[in-house]
Amino acid sequence: MQNYINGRWTPSLSGETFSNINPADHRDVIGQFPLSGANDVALAAQAAADAFPAWSKMPAPKRGDILRRAGDIFARRMDELSRIMTREMGKTLTETRGDIQEAIDTAYYAATEGRRLFGINTPSELADKMNMSFRMPIGVCGIITAWNFPIAVPSWKILPALVCGNTVVFKPSEDAPHSGNIFAEILEEAGVPAGVFNVVHGAADCGKAIVEHPAIRVVGFTGSTATGTSIAARCGALNKKVSLEMGGKNAQIVMDDADLDLALEGVLWGAFGTTGQRCTATSRLIVHDAVHDELVQRLLKAAEKLVLGNGLTNDAAQVGPVINQRQLDKILAYVEIGASEATLVLGGNRATDGDLAHGTFMQPTIFTNVNRNHRIFQEEIFGPVLSVTRCSSYDEAIELANDCAYGLSSSIYTRDVNRAFRALRDLEAGISYVNAPTIGAEAHMPFGGIKGTGNGHREGGWTAFEIFTEWKSAYVDFSGRLQRAQIDT
Ligand code: UN1
């Protein structure tokens, strides 16, 4: 398996590689991928810079037509690609199909945006003069993403960047490189010209080279807050535009008047779907005293029954593996911390029954009696670990939910319409749900968070186009004489 640079599949210049293994079965080696460095990034950035003039001058509706075809090809290759994705990152086939569907939605949205990309005209303050403003592409965009949504999250960045007329250097996660290559195959088949889209595989060094390369004008990053913050500092020094999607510690509030069946289904899906490995995953459950004991009891019963397994070989599997040993170790360390501060009521161990022993599986884990000072209440764990905290009023619930360094997603279960709208106003998060879990954002809505989660940008929907364009203000004076703004009024 190779890099994709200037329309050609090439190994890394150093010849070094890394292994991609199946997290559900570590005996299954998917392939060796190039461990690329700054020299490989330089080749890709040069190819992208060379491809920029022609691609940026192609009419946007034509670029949109190419992306529509990419959406069609993603749909055609759904079965095969979902299996490739499940094999390399572990979530179930139902979920990897959803991941691809999100890219299809994003492709079709970007395709139609090729015919919009609206500018704004305003009246001039002077006679016989016209003011207009329109979007311009920026140049080469460096895209660095995580492994948990190997197709959807890259699509949120790459497809808007391309339809706006930019070219791209993409570094997929080392834990999901195969999906990145399929992305390249699909864009090539759709008609994206050589050099417009490039894939460079590698680790932190490779990401750093993307951030540093002078031809790369925009950096789009999804990953940890620590890495994102250091990328932002570097981009600040280099005067690059940077869009960040980072950590979350998302809370689901359940009020005393909630539909408990619904709240239970919501938290099971939000906390243990994708093995809790979403930036939007529910990691805190804040429950009103009046329903706390009943909900917790029912939650324990239901979570205990969740079926862990390899999504490729076990159709009944609901919860896949944790991505790798490093992440499993981190989760287990948090379980130890949690056990010293709160009450462990479910799970807490690596799951090793039968075939599970071949992978990095983690039991769904629940803590109760968690308070706001506990580290498991405050810190992102990124695994199937849920903290339950009591509250005695709406105000306390909101205060608890907001007592957190992150601000991505949030949710409230209540039947009181006034309370629901108050929560939409009061929750400090980029995304809030009423009577739905914290996961499940749709491709045509702004996606992103406040506080430690982001840096003010939103992917998804119409807001993604703000990241990948600059505005041009244009003035046309058709008076035939010098008119001085602010002076000849
Ligand atoms: C992520 O975890 O980085 O809302 C993205 C959701 C998905 C996207 C998650 N549509 O959970």
Residue 245 bears catalytic tag: yes
Torsion of CA 177, 180, 186, 187, to 10 degrees: -150
SS3 at position 234: helix
Q: What is the pLDDT of residues 205-224, one digit of tens each?
A: 999 999 999 999 999 999 99
What are residue 484's DSSP bridge partners? none
Average pLDDT, the chain: 98
Q: Which atom of ligand 1 has the smallest separation from the CA of 248? A: 2
What's the whole-number mean pLDDT along residues 419-434?
Answer: 98
Token pair for residue 436? 């739905």
Asked whether the beta carbons of 217 and 239 are under 8 A apart, the reply is: no
β-pairing, 282-288 vs 385-391, is parallel
Residue 179 Cβ inside 6 Å of ligand 1? The answer reads no
Q: In angstroms, rounded to a whole number, what is the distance separating the alpha carbons of residues 323 and 357?
A: 14
Which class in CATH covers the domain with range 3-246+454-474? alpha beta
Specify the pLDDT at position 433. Answer: 98
Q: Is the pLDDT of residue 489 over 90?
A: no
pTM: 0.97
Which value, to the nearest 10 degrees, does the dihedral of the CA atoms of residues 340, 346, 347, 353 take? Answer: 150
Side chain identity, residue 463: T
Answer yes or no: same fold for 3-246+454-474 and 250-434: no
pLDDT of residue 287: 98
Residue of 149, 225, 250, 381 best suited for mutating to test ligand 1, as the one with most atoms within 8 Å of CB: 149
pLDDT for 297 beyond 90 = yes
Residue 207 burial (10 A CB sphere; 0-12, 13-18, 19+): buried
Name the residue with tokens 């691809």: 100
pLDDT tens digits, one per residue of 120-144: 999 999 999 999 999 999 999 999 9
Residue 29, strand partner residues: 21
Q: How far apart are CA 282 and CA 248, in angstroms?
A: 9
The residue nearest atom 8 of ligand 1, judged by CA position, is 441
Whether residue 431 is predicted with pLDDT greater than 90 in this model: the reply is yes
> 446 in ligand 1 pocket by Cβ < 6 Å?
no
Indicate whether 462 pLDDT > 90: yes
196 pLDDT exceeds 90?
yes
pLDDT at 363 over 80: yes
- Catalytic residue at 189? no
| Residue extents of the structural domains in the chain | 3-246+454-474, 250-434
The answer to whether residue 35 scores a pLDDT higher than 80 is yes
- The CATH number for 250-434, chosen from 3.40.50.170, 3.40.309.10, 3.40.50.2000, 3.40.1350.10, is 3.40.309.10
Q: Which residue, 335, 84, 73, 101, is CA-closest to 191?
A: 73
CB of 171 shorter than 6 A to ligand 1: no
pLDDT band at 28 (very low <50, low <70, confident <90, very high): very high
Distance of CA 374 to the CA centre of its chain: 27
Pairing state between β 167-171 and 197-199: parallel
Q: 54 — phi, psi (to 5°)? A: -70, -40
Q: What percentage of residues in the chain have a pLDDT greater than 90?
A: 100
Per-residue pLDDT at 225 exceeds 80? yes
314-350 pLDDT, tens digit per residue, is 999 999 999 999 999 999 999 999 999 999 999 999 9
Judge contact between 30 and 178, C-beta under 8 A.
yes
Among candidate residues 102, 245, 380, 466, the one labeled active-site is: 245
pLDDT of residue 358: 98
